[in-house]
């Protein structure tokens, strides 16, 4: 683990958040208000945490909030760093290492995304079942020894996905499932790129998640990712996304996402391969 992560853990523990974390959430643009549901929260601005991002994008709060939600010790990152902010695919390495050191065995990533599937309408939620790393960038490039050869065969943990799908009923939301394609951003895609994304098997496109999944898998942390579809991709069904549109749509859709994630915390892990009961 890096010195930054060790130093960040020290800061966090010195603020009284010393219980081991079970589940961590990374909240994307406009999705940060989920942390309001935390009981007895300890909130620490990223600026006080070594290795955490300096956020420059509107819609991101930039705080780590720790505490209890649905009887579970959680850590919530309100805002993330993106590759397009600094050209570094490892930008989320420090925070994810910190979460792993705090005990988080599970990370749930959230982000807004553009739909490239006709019946995945803006406002809907999509569980990411797999990704296409269209950038070809990898946060593990340069990792010494064999540690970089991380398997991504079940990168989006099937057991967590099963729990999220069970949570849907309680939360009263619809959850699509599909493949997420990572673009560097920050400009949105062209209509030709969106056509390509669809042809190559994508259901949604976005500017985050993928490097975080790769880093988390290297750390042995289980991952699931839920995207909020804020718009249709450029040129697709009339899609012409803008930052203000995606931010406003995220704020509206955040309510359903928050319900889903709280319902997820109430689901119990089933024995691997056991019959689904709810």
Provide the minimum distance between the beta carbon of 244 and ligand HPA in the complex, in angstroms, as a whole number. 12
Tokens 């496109």 sit on residue: 205
- Closest residue to bound ligand HPA by CB: 114
Q: Using CA atoms, how far apart are residues 169 and 172, in angstroms rounded to an integer?
A: 5
Which of 236, 224, 227, 192 is CA-nearest to residue 207?
Answer: 227
Binding test (CB under 6 A) with ligand HPA, winner from 104, 230, 258, 261: 230
Identify which of residues 98 and 231 has a Cβ nearer to ligand HPA in the complex: 231
Integer angstrom CA distances of residue 132 from 76, 129, 168, 201: 26, 11, 25, 8
| CB-CB contact of 175 with 125 (8 Å) | yes
Assess 110 for contact with ligand HPA (CB under 6 A): no
Binding test (CB under 6 A) with ligand HPA, winner from 64, 150, 205, 225: 205
Q: Which two tokens stand for residue 169?
A: 């009923």
Q: Using CA atoms, how far apart are residues 18 and 12, in angstroms rounded to an integer?
A: 8
Assess 189 for contact with ligand HPA (CB under 6 A): yes
Binding test (CB under 6 A) with ligand HPA, winner from 67, 233, 253, 256: 233
Q: Using CA atoms, how far apart are residues 202 and 45, in angstroms rounded to an integer?
A: 35
Burial class (CB in 10 A: 0-12, 13-18, 19+), 184: middle
User: For residue 232, what are the β-bridge partners?
Assistant: 115
Provide the minimum distance between the beta carbon of 9 and ligand HPA in the complex, in angstroms, as a whole number. 31
Q: What angle do CA 115, 264, 161 make, to 5 degrees?
A: 55
Identify which of residues 126 and 167 has a Cβ nearer to ligand HPA in the complex: 126
Provide the minimum distance between the beta carbon of 185 and ligand HPA in the complex, in angstroms, as a whole number. 6
Binding test (CB under 6 A) with ligand HPA, winner from 139, 206, 253, 256: 206
Identify which of residues 24 and 113 has a Cβ nearer to ligand HPA in the complex: 113
Provide the minimum distance between the beta carbon of 231 and ligand HPA in the complex, in angstroms, as a whole number. 5
> Residue numbers of the site for ligand HPA (CB under 6 A)?
112-114, 183, 188-189, 205-207, 230-231, 233, 241, 246
């Amino acid at each position: 683990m890096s010195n930054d992560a060790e130093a960040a853990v020290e800061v966090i523990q010195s603020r009284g958040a010393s219980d081991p974390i079970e589940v961590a959430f990374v909240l994307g643009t406009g999705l940060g208000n989920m942390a309001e549901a935390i009981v007895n929260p300890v909130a620490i601005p990223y600026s006080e945490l070594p290795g955490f991002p300096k956020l420059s994008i509107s819609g991101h709060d930039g705080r780590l909030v720790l505490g209890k939600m649905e009887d579970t010790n959680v850590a919530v990152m309100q805002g993330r760093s993106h590759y397009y902010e600094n050209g570094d695919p490892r930008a989320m390495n420090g925070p994810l290492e910190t979460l792993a050191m705090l005990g988080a065995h599970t990370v749930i990533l959230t982000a807004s995304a553009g739909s490239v599937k006709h019946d995945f309408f803006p406002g809907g939620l999509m569980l990411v079942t797999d990704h296409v790393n269209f950038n070809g960038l990898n946060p593990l490039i340069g990792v010494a020894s064999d540690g970089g050869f991380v398997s991504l065969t079940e990168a989006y943990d099937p057991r967590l996905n099963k729990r999220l799908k069970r949570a849907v009923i309680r939360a009263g939301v619809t959850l699509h499932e599909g493949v997420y394609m990572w673009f560097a951003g920050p400009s949105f895609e062209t209509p030709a790129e969106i056509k390509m994304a669809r042809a190559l098997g994508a259901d949604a496109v976005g500017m985050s998640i993928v490097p975080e999944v790769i880093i988390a898998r290297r750390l042995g942390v289980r991952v699931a990712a839920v995207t909020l579809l804020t718009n249709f991709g450029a040129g697709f069904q009339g899609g012409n996304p803008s930052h203000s549109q995606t931010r406003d749509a995220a704020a509206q859709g955040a309510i359903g996402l928050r319900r889903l994630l709280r319902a997820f915390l109430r689901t119990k892990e089933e024995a691997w391969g056991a019959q689904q009961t709810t």
